[in-house]
Amino acid sequence: MLIQLKDSDYFVCDVFNLIPIFNQLDFIRSYVSDLDEKVSGLSENGKGMSGTQKLWLGFVISAIIVSNKICWACFSRISGENFKASCLLKMFVRTKGFWEHILQASTLALLEKFNITEAVLVLDDSDKLRSKSCRKLYATHKVKAKNTGGYSVAQNIIFLVLVAKGITIPVGFKFYEPDHRWSKWSAEDKKLRKQGVSKAHRPKEPEKKNKSKSQLASELVLEFFDNFPNLNIKAVCADCLYGNKKFSSPILVKHKVQIISQIRSNQTVYLKNKAIGLSELFRRYPGVKQNINFRGEAKDVIMCGVRVGVKSYDGQKLFVIALKYEGEDDYRYITATDLSWRSIDIVSAYSLRWLVEVFIQDWKGHMGFDRMAIHQGAKGSSRGVTLSLLVDHALNTHPDQSALIKSESSASTVGSLIDHVKVEAFLESLMQVLTADSPIEKYEEMATALRSVHSLRASKKHLINLDMNQFEGKEYLAKRYKIAA
């Protein structure tokens, strides 16, 4: 076994700092047990996780919750050196077959636990900013920094999130990496076109080797349909970036599902076989006030919908809706592939797309990947994201959160739930000290572990090899340059 257990398993709590405690979190143990059952059902040989794998996974998920990072050295310190960093890393890197079905198994466990039979899928992508000198990291590329207007280096991840009644969970992801050779050609081609160079005298377009975001997103959706064929997916929602045929066509060929997206105002549509600009069309047909179900609440909007052919979809007829929320001056244009839906239902379903933004905010703030110690290559990055998504799944199995979801009450926020878990763990550790046969010895054991969490390290700010006598003028130089001064 790569990890040797002592008498007690150490987990951590962060009330003031990272505090070791002596018991595994009960809801994490139950979650891993349910996960193991689903893994055995999905694996070809019918085997689940080994005892070491279950122990490792339970500890790592708990450590991520209380430390908000994925760092093996940190995990070792907060366990009181009960788990060695090298052993934790070996399990992460060398385990085979463990990662193949783990996210699917976790999703399946949650679907059964909360009796979810129908849902909506929503998509979006997010950038994880990295250092500008990170050539060995997987799928890094230059992206535009929204806050500065300049450029940064980042990893771009496309997320697929499932929205059901009472619960929202991530169910898939893919890394996007542009084709650098094609991007270089595209930039040069635009430059030459502005200079008036004809196509015959411009370099030929190279073959694109990497898949676009639309292609990766459609693959995510199709994989989900294959993995969960019995789940009734009402709609797939994505923003303007995925409002094209490259995204919708592969899905619609295999599955009859409503795909709701958005298109830009400069698009051309066909009304009675005549081409017309989208903005011009809705100047002719102004919107009217409607009351819609906006993420469970009634809200007034101004909207108008028409069924027209869209040029960017090769003339395919879509339900196009001009939508304007209260306080907005300009319309946004929503598209739907299934023409049998009412416009107010399409807009209500599209409002669920905002929940993927909430998930990404929670993921960056609480799931550890944003502060992940660097792991090179595709496997290191993908496994790190998978661990962070399992943390999100595990939190939904906490007894308090689970009770709220099952009773159809508003679930707790991720931040407040994590704070609640930390306090519970800390109080449980104190109770074990108080009820132990030898409370003084138990206290000393806890105190020793606590002191080892943050060992004192040498500071580079407080210098010791510093001679203040060197910071003064020299007499021989003063005499030499006295006249010059």
Domains in the chain: ranges and CATH: 1-113+418-460 (no CATH), 115-361 (3.90.350)
- Does residue 4 have a pLDDT over 50? no
Each residue of 19-54: b (16+ CB within 10 Å) or e?
bbbbebbebbbbbbebbbebbeeebeeeebbeebbb
pLDDT band at residue 1 using 50, 70 and 90 as cut-offs: very low
Averaged pLDDT for residues 67-96 = 82
Report pLDDT for 42. 87
**CB 31, CB 9: distance < 8 Å:** no
Pairing of β 232-237 and β 167-176? unpaired
- Which residue would you say has higher pLDDT here, 248 or 370? 248
Q: What is the pTM of this model?
A: 0.84
Which ranges of 228-353 would DSSP assign to H, the alpha helix? 245-254, 278-284, 343-350
- Does residue 460 have a pLDDT over 50? yes
**CB 132, CB 153: distance < 8 Å:** yes
Q: What angle, rounded to 10 degrees, do the helices at 377-395 and 102-113 form? A: 10
Whole-number average pLDDT of the chain:
84
Burial of residue 227 (CB within 10 Å: 0-12, 13-18, 19+) is middle
Averaged pLDDT for residues 244-252 = 92
Averaged pLDDT for residues 269-294 = 87
- Which residue would you say has higher pLDDT here, 340 or 153? 340
Beta bridge partners of 249: none
pLDDT in tens, 52-61: 889 899 988 9
| CA 292/CA 67 separation, integer angstroms | 41
Phi, psi of 268 (to 5 degrees): -105, 135
Report pLDDT for 2. 41
pLDDT band at residue 12 using 50, 70 and 90 as cut-offs: very low
| CA 123/CA 237 separation, integer angstroms | 6
**Closest CA relative to residue 348, chosen from 303, 405, 318, 309:** 303
Highest mean pLDDT among 73-87, 110-124, 126-140: 110-124
First-residue to last-residue Cα distance in the chain: 75
Report pLDDT for 19. 47
pLDDT band at residue 388 using 50, 70 and 90 as cut-offs: very high
| CA 204/CA 274 separation, integer angstroms | 34
pLDDT band at residue 484 using 50, 70 and 90 as cut-offs: low
Residue 273 to residues 199, 286, 307, 309, 454, Cα–Cα distance (Å): 32, 21, 12, 8, 72
- Does residue 168 have a pLDDT over 50? yes
| CA 135/CA 124 separation, integer angstroms | 25
pLDDT in tens, 405-452: 999 888 999 989 988 888 887 777 777 778 888 888 877 877 776 666
